Chains A and B, each alone.
Chain A
Amino acid sequence: MAEPKRITTPLSDEVIKDLHIGDSVLISGVIYTARDSAHKRLIEALERGEELPVDLKGQIIYYAGPAPAKPGKPIGSIGPTTSYRMDPYAPILIEKGLKGMIGKGNRSDEVIEAIKKHTAVYFGAIGGAAALGAKSIKKAEFVAYEDLGPEAIRRLEVVDFPAVVVNDCYGGDIYKQGLKEYGEV
């Protein structure tokens, strides 16, 4: 394994251009959680011409809904949810300045196209390694839609959050590459 690349949010185009599929990264800074229902509300707010409850410029959205925090802990177990459910919404948010997404599973052609066009990046985190995932989160607070429970938007302060570059801004896709490299059929 090559040494992981350390990156900090918000992400600049320069940093994103240095990321290539298969790169291991350690993310530090602020990231936001949002899943299906939160995305629906964000898009509805945009459709009504309202400001979003969070400024997404240069930011990363983590598709995740954590388990409740035990007393004294900032957050419960947390890992990625399947990303394709956010595909209808993602290109709109990327156009609004969103630079990164963390999830699991492949994205639609529209999302991959938007990633290329607007110099963004999609990371994969390890699904099912959620107790470990919580370790890199130092602080968590609700920023919007608290009524959605696990689906609310949270602001997370992370240090060395591990992820892998799945779709880079050059149109690359680790899932396709992986099949090519290791597939025997």
Chain B
Amino acid sequence: MREIDVSGITSAVKKLCMDANFYLGDDVKKRIYECYEKEESPTGKDVLSQIIENIKISENDEVPLCQDTGYAVLFVELGQDVRLTGGDFTEAINEGVRQGYKEGYLRKSVVTDPLERKNSGDNTPAIIYTDIVPGDKIKIILAPKGGGSENMSEVKMMAPAAGVEGVKEFVVDRVLRSGANPCPPVIVGVGIGGTFEKCAQIAKKALLRPVGSVHPNPYYADLEKELLEKINKLGIGPQGFGGRCTALAVHIEVHPCHIASFPVAVNMQCHVARHKEVII
């Protein structure tokens, strides 16, 4: 048993909130630079150059890349040989979010009640997915999620007969219908299988995979490639002004499902594809 005081979780989460909002991952940056080189539309190219300039300003000035600093979504892998001390695990994470969003001058974008719509004032509560895993460490991934791209996401309970063609049609159409709303270029997270809620969750998890990485299963690796090509033929382009670069990547995650079910989820992610992780 390894004892970990929850105050360590609070300080780690606080730092993740700020780092994720100020520094874009190298994988995403690299792909944006590549798209800039390749973009044929002059307006699209200009948009990408401003996105690149924005990334530099955020890094240098330590200010958020986007004013929508997101809903704090966390994926935690908790080692089963860890004993947490010093307080409540969930509250420790929320306290980290509270401190990070305050000290980082990040926007508070959470309303406590979805109908009453009063701002919670400190960007809490966080959304926390916890997996118990072997070992005596805690891995925390924080992915602040913007509303613009989240709103263009969808879960569809398809008939198993729809097959892979059904998936392709749904994913490409979802991107087309989203237009400029999710701030393209986007990363498209696709969940296939599971149950209604699991499917959405794995679509979100797919967004965490490094851009440029290849799906371990060659069948899905090919499908990702095909979908990316199809999406980039739509012509939406950077910010929807027309162009070749609509998506930076398509990431698929699959899960076993019920004999009667075929859920497919698309989680849209803007080019501000933020996530940072830490191991305690």
Decide if A and B are genuine partners: yes
**Does B236 sit within 8 A of A, measured CB to CB?**
yes
Instruction: Specify which chain A residues have a CB less than 8 angstroms from the CB of B233 in the assembled complex.
Output: 183-185
Closest to B146 in A: A128
Instruction: Specify which chain B residues have a CB less than 8 angstroms from the CB of A81 in the assembled complex.
Output: 68, 147-148
Q: Assess whether A175 is in contact with B240, with CB atoms less than 8 Å apart.
A: yes
> A70 and B148 in contact (CB under 8 A), knowing A104-B183, A131-B57, A132-B50?
no
Q: Assess whether A82 is in contact with B41, with CB atoms less than 8 Å apart.
A: no
Count of A-B residue pairs with CB < 8 Å: 171
Q: Assess whether A126 is in contact with B47, with CB atoms less than 8 Å apart.
A: yes
Q: Assess whether B107 is in contact with A65, with CB atoms less than 8 Å apart.
A: yes
Q: How far is the CA of A64 from the CA of B148 in the complex (A)?
A: 12
Q: In angstroms, how far is the closest chain A Cβ from the Cβ of B232?
A: 9
**Does B13 sit within 8 A of A, measured CB to CB?**
no
**Which residue among B41, B67, B106, B183 has the maximum number of chain A CB atoms within 10 Å of its CB?**
B67
Q: In angstroms, how far is the closest chain B Cβ from the Cβ of A102?
A: 13
Among all A-B residue pairs, the 5 with the closest Cβ atoms = A178-B242, A183-B235, A182-B235, A127-B183, A105-B181
Instruction: Specify which chain B residues have a CB less than 8 angstroms from the CB of A77 in the assembled complex.
Output: 58, 63-67
Instruction: Specify which chain A residues have a CB less than 8 angstroms from the CB of B107 in the assembled complex.
Output: 65-68, 76, 150
Closest to A177 in B: B242
Q: Assess whether B41 is in contact with A178, with CB atoms less than 8 Å apart.
A: yes
As a 0/1 sequence over residues 225 to 237 of chain B, the CB contacts with chain A under 8 angstroms (1 = contact) are 0000010011111
Closest to B246 in A: A182
Chain B interface (Cβ within 8 Å of chain A)?
40-43, 45-47, 50-51, 53-54, 57-58, 61, 63-69, 105-109, 117, 119, 121, 146-148, 151, 179-181, 183, 230, 233-237, 239-244, 270-272
Q: Assess whether A69 is in contact with B235, with CB atoms less than 8 Å apart.
A: no
Instruction: Specify which chain B residues have a CB less than 8 angstroms from the CB of A132 in the assembled complex.
Output: 50, 53-54, 57
> A128 and B66 in contact (CB under 8 A), knowing A66-B107, A149-B119, A178-B236?
yes
Q: How far is the CA of A126 from the CA of B148 in the complex (A)?
A: 13
> A178 and B235 in contact (CB under 8 A), knowing A104-B180, A106-B180, A135-B57?
yes
**Does A181 sit within 8 A of B, measured CB to CB?**
yes
Instruction: Specify which chain B residues have a CB less than 8 angstroms from the CB of A59 in the assembled complex.
Output: none
Instruction: Specify which chain A residues have a CB less than 8 angstroms from the CB of B151 in the assembled complex.
Output: 82
Q: Assess whether B240 is in contact with A78, with CB atoms less than 8 Å apart.
A: no
16 contacts between A and B (CB under 8 A): A22-B241, A67-B63, A67-B107, A69-B105, A70-B105, A81-B148, A104-B183, A126-B54, A126-B239, A129-B50, A130-B65, A131-B63, A132-B54, A178-B241, A180-B235, A184-B235
Instruction: Specify which chain B residues have a CB less than 8 angstroms from the CB of A24 in the assembled complex.
Output: 43, 46
Q: In angstroms, how far is the closest chain B Cβ from the Cβ of A36?
A: 9
Q: Assess whether A178 is in contact with B243, with CB atoms less than 8 Å apart.
A: yes
Q: How far is the CA of A138 from the CA of B148 in the complex (A)?
A: 26
Q: How far is the CA of A67 from the CA of B103 in the complex (A)?
A: 12
Q: How far is the CA of A67 from the CA of B61 in the complex (A)?
A: 14
Q: How far is the CA of A104 from the CA of B47 in the complex (A)?
A: 13
Q: Assess whether A79 is in contact with B242, with CB atoms less than 8 Å apart.
A: no
Q: In angstroms, how far is the closest chain B Cβ from the Cβ of A70?
A: 5
Q: How far is the CA of A82 from the CA of B183 in the complex (A)?
A: 9
Q: Assess whether A179 is in contact with B234, with CB atoms less than 8 Å apart.
A: yes
Q: Assess whether B181 is in contact with A179, with CB atoms less than 8 Å apart.
A: no
As a 0/1 sequence over residues 134 to 164 of chain A, the CB contacts with chain B under 8 angstroms (1 = contact) are 1100000000000001100000000000101
Instruction: Specify which chain B residues have a CB less than 8 angstroms from the CB of A164 in the assembled complex.
Output: 43, 239, 241
Q: Assess whether B105 is in contact with A124, with CB atoms less than 8 Å apart.
A: no
Q: In angstroms, how far is the closest chain A Cβ from the Cβ of B168?
A: 12
